[in-house]
Homo-oligomer: A and B are copies of this chain.
Amino acid sequence: MDKITYKPIGKINTPFKRGKGTPIQPPAGKGIEGKIKLYPEYQKGLKDLDGFSHIILLYHMHKAKKYKLLAKPYMDNKTKGIFAIRAPSRPNPIGFSIVKLTKIKNNILYIQDLDILDETPLLDIKPWVGEFDDRENIKTGWLEDNVHKLHKTSADGRFEKK
């Protein structure tokens, strides 16, 4: 299989017009509010989603510049492999965020705790389920000494297209 083609199912609207200053993960964007405008032809697929407090969003990071296989993450000043960091400039720039779902009205989803740029094309919504998606006894490599910087760090535009 050589190429895979997807079609956005909607758009994500957030207060973040530029990379610079955007929270680097949802827990660092606590309380930040936004909306998903699902294209109306997909609205029927939202049935029963309102029972879930948290949803997984997969989206196309449309502002990410071309990747390098080694890059400096925000929370350390040493270069890492791109698959060992969460930077948006990746071979396939698919973003992944778990956000709070506060309300659904027709094809509009009201969401919170955001680290996503405005106008981002949405690819999928999945319900977040602890029994599927939570893990214990984990090791987090280079982040173990660095993750305490999460709430003091925001993006600086280094991965953004000019």
For this chain, the copies found in one complex come to: 2
A56: chain B residues at CB < 8 Å are 96
CA distance A94 to B1 in the complex (A): 15
- Please pick, from B46, B54, B94, B139, the residue contacting A124 in the complex, using a CB distance under 8 A: B94
Q: Does B98 lie within 8 Å of A96, measured CB to CB?
A: no
CB <8 Å contact, B135 and A91: no
Do A48 and B81 have beta carbons less than 8 Å apart?
yes
Cα A135 to Cα B137 in complex, Å, equals 16
Q: List 25 A-B contacts (CB under 8 A).
A: A1-B62, A4-B8, A7-B91, A42-B91, A44-B69, A45-B81, A45-B91, A47-B84, A49-B81, A51-B140, A51-B141, A52-B140, A56-B96, A58-B96, A83-B126, A86-B127, A92-B124, A98-B133, A127-B140, A127-B143, A128-B138, A129-B143, A129-B147, A130-B138, A131-B143
Contact of A1 among B60, B90, B92, B96 (CB under 8 A): B60
Question: Secondary structure of the A side of the interface?
Answer: mixed
Nearest Cβ on chain B to A133's Cβ, whole angstroms? 6
A46–B81 Cα gap in the complex (Å)?
A: 5
A130–B109 Cα distance when bound, in Å, is 25
Q: Is the CB of A81 within 8 A of B27?
A: no
List of B residues within 8 angstroms of A96 by Cβ: 56, 58, 96, 126
Interchain CA distance A144-B52 in the complex, whole Å: 10
